Amino acid sequence: MKSANTKILAIESSCDETAAAVVVNGRDVRSNIISTQIPLHTLYGGVVPEIASRKHIERIDNVIKMALSEADTTLDELDAVAVTYGPGLVGALLVGVAEAKAIAYAAGLPLIGVNHIEGHIAANYIEDKTLEPPFLCLIVSGGHTHLVQVTDYNKCTILGRSVDDAAGEAFDKVARAIGLGYPGGPKIEEAAKSGDASCVHFPRAKVSGNPYDFSFSGLKSAVLNYLNHLSMHGEAYNPNDIAAAFQEAVVGVLCDHVAMALDETKSPHFALAGGVASNGALRSSMQEVCAKKNVLFHCPAPIFCTDNAAMIGAAGYYAYLNGNTSGWDLNAVPQLRLGEKS
Ligand code: KG4
Ligand code: ZN
């Protein structure tokens, strides 16, 4: 029997997590199952798309069954099925999209295609049940770095984005270069705790044109050049020091951009989102920036920062309220941009 509440089954398979969740009214997470493939991809130093798709196929049925069972619900109590349809790896996305279509069609439920980046933003609605647009949001993940003004639940204006590597990508590449392995973000964070950030000063790149745009490939190259220079001179280095100096540079650039945007937009709320938002150093520095400016700081719990399906259920709910349901021809869109609809 359906209730007055809106109960959504959400599915996420855009990269290396197979995830399903049941979310009520966009904010109340009844279950959040995440089957990570990280240990598998660690062997290869990064995500192998072919392996990711195969593992999603093997795991998705069970992950969905677990999400329904943990939420103590069945398909006939649901109101809709939401699924990430982009951006991401095409083969990985297709598994979730095909599964969501099959379930929604068989159960006679509306299908909602969700943009993964909008999902990351919506993770903030789970954390803070009172947060409402408008607010300024920085999304920092493995594939995306976006500074946006969220003007409504289904609308945002992009102030800046990375012109090359995403912030998380830079963490992953630098971690590989200093021998920390995959996934780089959490390993750099851990190493940086016992490192000395003042061992070297890495450049904070400015992008000409839009002051809100980011560039991280220059920073990554500066780290690689520094390591080459040391090795050519037969000098040893402490990876923890490099990790600390690199992390400080990334956090510095991100905080400067946010501070500038807060001054200009006068937004009373700021939210962090995406996998890199689980970084403790970034969270506390952003919190300080906000405190100085009397801005309320929001950030999802780390489990809702990295890829999960609950955030897709949150974004899916607001799309559903807005009547943004998808047709049965919904397809994976690997290069889907923020604000773009299929
Ligand atoms: O949002 P996410 O799970 O997937 C994408 O949509 O890309 O983000 C994954 C990215 C990876 O690059 C990973 O290294 C980074 O987030 N990451 C972190 C931390 N945890 C994950 N970066 C810095 N510090 C962390 N603690
Ligand atoms: Zn993500």
CB contact at 8 A, 276 and 282: yes
Query: Is residue 16 lining ligand 1, measured as CB closer than 6 Å?
Result: no
Closest alpha carbon to 16 in 46, 247, 61: 46
Closest by CA position to 247, among listed 298, 177, 287, 196: 196
% of the chain with per-residue pLDDT over 70: 99
Choose among 58, 54, 65: nearest CA to 9. Answer: 65
The arithmetic mean of pLDDT across residues 211-215, rounded, is 96
pLDDT in tens, 24-81: 999 999 999 999 998 899 888 889 999 999 999 999 999 999 999 999 999 999 999 9
d(CA 123, CA 79): 20
What pLDDT score was predicted for residue 176? 94
Q: Exposed, middle or buried, 150 (CB in 10 Å: 0-12/13-18/19+)?
A: buried
Highest mean pLDDT among 33-42, 126-135, 197-206: 126-135
Give the rounded distance of the alpha carbon of 327 from its chain centre: 26
Per-residue pLDDT tens for 70-115?
A: 999 999 999 999 999 999 999 999 999 999 999 999 999 999 999 9
* 153 has pLDDT over 80: yes
Look at 204 and 194; give whichever has higher pLDDT: 194
pLDDT surpasses 70 at 1: no
- Distance of CA 106 from the midpoint of ligand 1 (Å): 35
User: What is the average pLDDT score of the chain?
Assistant: 96
pLDDT tier, 208 (very low <50, low <70, confident <90, very high otherwise): confident
With a 6 A CB cut-off, is 133 part of the ligand 1 pocket?
Answer: no
What is the reported pLDDT for 213? 97
Taking the centre of ligand 1 as the mean of its atom positions, its distance from the CA of residue 291, in whole angstroms, is 25
Contact 325, 136 (CB under 8 A): no
Rounded to a whole number of angstroms, the distance between the first and last alpha carbons of the chain is 32
Would the CB of 239 count as within 6 Å of ligand 1? Answer: no
pLDDT of amino acid 2 = 63
Please compute, for residue 226, the number of CA atoms within 13 A of its CA located in the half-sphere on the CB side. Answer: 22
110 Cα: distance to centroid of ligand 1 (angstroms):
31
Q: Is the pLDDT of residue 271 over 90?
A: yes
Cα 333 to ligand 2 centre (Å): 15
What the block records as the tokens of 58 is 């093997």
Average pLDDT over residues 6-17: 98
Residue 266 binned pLDDT confidence (cut-offs 50, 70, 90): very high
pTM above 0.85, yes or no: yes
Pocket test for ligand 1, best of 145, 165, 276 (most atoms within 8 A of CB): 276
Give the pLDDT of residue 3.
67
Return the number of other C-beta atoms located less than 10 Å from residue 341's C-beta: 11
Give the torsion through C-alpha atoms of 211, 271, 299, 123, to 10 deg.
-110
Say how far apart CA 225 and CA 229 lie, in whole Å: 6
Return the pLDDT at 61.
98
Quick one: what percent of the chain has pLDDT higher than 90? 92
Residue with the smallest CA separation from ligand 1 atom 13 is 185
